[in-house]
Amino acid sequence: MRKLARLAMALPLAGLLAGCNAVVLSPSGDIAAQQRDLLVFSTVLMLVIIIPVMALTVLFAWRYRQSNKAARYEPDWDHSTQLELVIWAAPLLIIIILGAITWTGTHLLDPYRPLERVAAGRPVTKEVKPLEVQVVALDWKWLFIYPEYGVASVNEMAAPVDRPINFKITASAVMNSFYVPALAGMIYAMPGMETKLHAVINAPGEYEGISSNYSGAGFSGMRFRFHGLDQAGFDQWVAKVRAGDAGTLDRPAYLALEKPSQNVPVRYYNAVADDLYHAILNMCVDANKMCMDKMMAVDAKGGLGKEGINNVRPLLYDKYARRGAVFGPEPYFVSSFCEVPRSGALDTWKRSVPALSPKPAGLTGASLSIPPASRQLPQLSAAQPG
């Protein structure tokens, strides 16, 4: 009677499990399908050893139990060449096979590797233009920029069926992980860095995308919808985004969007600043801050010395306080740098700078001395408090 009561209590749990959607084992994208096949093959291959070992464990425990007086008893037995061959050869063979398929799958399913096919037996032709999507992980929402169409969306994206997708992925401040289980494997989104993912969706539908890396208080709501559409449906989706009322996603709009917020509804931007993603990636959306690629170019030439040590502007929403030490002077940062051109281009450079252009007769003003052309040291053009 007690067993029946326990079984009755377990039935509701079984009903909940019946509603689970094993999307990882039933994906809709070719890359995710190949990853599924690799997972299933590896599991089956390992079960070749695991199942016999488990069965033999039960068999030996039953056959050589204390009450079985008919079991063979050989206390002096210590070696069997045939048994040693079976024990070592079978696992060694499985390890070799697993190593081979892992090495092959690692290269064929490299997320940075452009797609060679959209499905089994359907190679990517030269006429097909991949869809580029720039992904930015924010706190706690996802931003998708479509440079080909000049639009952007928050917490929703779409792509045509059977068209390769080239994702360029970065983050604003905290590391996240971009993951659409039905599409492809997860890949990290990190501030100041760009990761890539090549994938394709093969079946129309609405799929869930998540952040699979914990990133703070709003992590549970950091989800988005991914729509797999035919070409006509995708064109309609782009038209809907272009009709959105969120306006243009320029630098001020992005700085407002970047501030932490939770459970953000879908939002459409009908235009995007051309250099916005470059500024996000190089952490210089604030125009007063030098971009990382420029700073790296300076470092490659020897650096700016101590002027570049504190070249980090604090986030305005960072607990309403600047980053860095409590004591000491206010931190400063380098906004840009310049060099005096070589002697052959000096006159052209002087004419391009209003302060150095020849003044009309009758006007007076302080003259600026031009350093010798031989001096090629970088000069600080602006320094502002953090």
Name, in order, each residue with C-beta under 8 angstroms of 144's C-beta and a sequence gap of 6 or more: 133, 134, 135, 136, 152, 153, 154, 156, 157, 224
What tens digit of pLDDT does each residue of 127-155 get?
A: 889 999 999 999 899 999 999 999 999 99
Would you say the pTM of this structure is higher than 0.85?
no
In a domain, 211, yes or no: yes
14 is a domain residue: no
In this prediction, residues 171-191 reach a mean pLDDT of 92
What integer best gives the mean pLDDT of the chain? 80
Q: Are residues 97 and 136 in the same domain?
A: no
Pair 183, 257 in one domain: yes
In this structure, of 24-33, 214-223, 239-248, 365-374, the range with the lowest mean pLDDT score is: 365-374
The pLDDT of residue 129: 92
Strand partners, 284: none
Question: Are residues 33 and 131 located together in one domain of the fold?
Answer: no
For residues 349 and 182, the model is more confident at: 182
Residue 70 lies in a domain: no
pLDDT, tens digit, 9 for 90 and up, residues 288-310:
788 888 888 877 777 766 656 56
Please report whether residue 348 resides in a domain. Answer: yes
Please give the structure tokens belonging to residue 32: 């995710």
What's the confidence (pLDDT) of residue 64?
A: 84
Tell me: do 206 and 186 sit in the same domain: yes
Same domain for 227 and 328: no
Report the length, in residues, of the chain.
386
Specify if 141 maps to a domain: yes
Q: Is the domain of 224 the same as that of 276?
A: yes
**Number of domains into which the chain is organized:** 3
Q: Note whether residue 239 is domain-resident.
A: yes
Domain coverage including residue 337: 292-352+374-385
Same domain (yes/no): 136, 270:
yes
Whether 316 has a pLDDT exceeding 80, the answer reads no
Buried b (16+ CB within 10 A) or exposed e, 277-289: bebbbbbbbeeeb
How many DSSP H helices and E strands does the chain contain?
8, 19
Q: What is the CA radius of gyration of the chain?
A: 31
Q: 168 and 92, same structural domain?
A: no
Residue pLDDT, tens place only, 28-46: 899 999 999 998 999 999 8
132 and 104 belong to one structural domain: no
**Are 246 and 126 contained in the same domain?**
yes
d(CA 384, CA 170): 27
Tally Cβ neighbours within 10 Å of residue 157. Answer: 24
Neighbours of 205 (CB within 10 A): 13
Q: Are 73 and 126 in contact (CB under 8 A)?
A: no
For residues 125 and 149, membership in a common domain is answered with yes
Query: Is position 52 within any domain?
Result: yes
Same domain, 133 and 172: yes
Any idea what DSSP says for residue 121? T
Structure tokens at 77: 């037995």
Q: Which two tokens stand for residue 233?
A: 């449906």
- Residue type, position 101, single letter: I
Assigned domain for 194 exists: yes
Query: Could you tell me the CATH number of the domain that includes residue 263?
Result: 2.60.40.420
> How large a percentage of the chain has pLDDT more than 90?
38
CB 157 within 8 A of CB 182: no
Q: Which of 239, 259, 281 is the last residue of a domain?
A: 281
Contact between 46 and 94 (Cβ < 8 Å): yes
* pLDDT given at position 228: 95
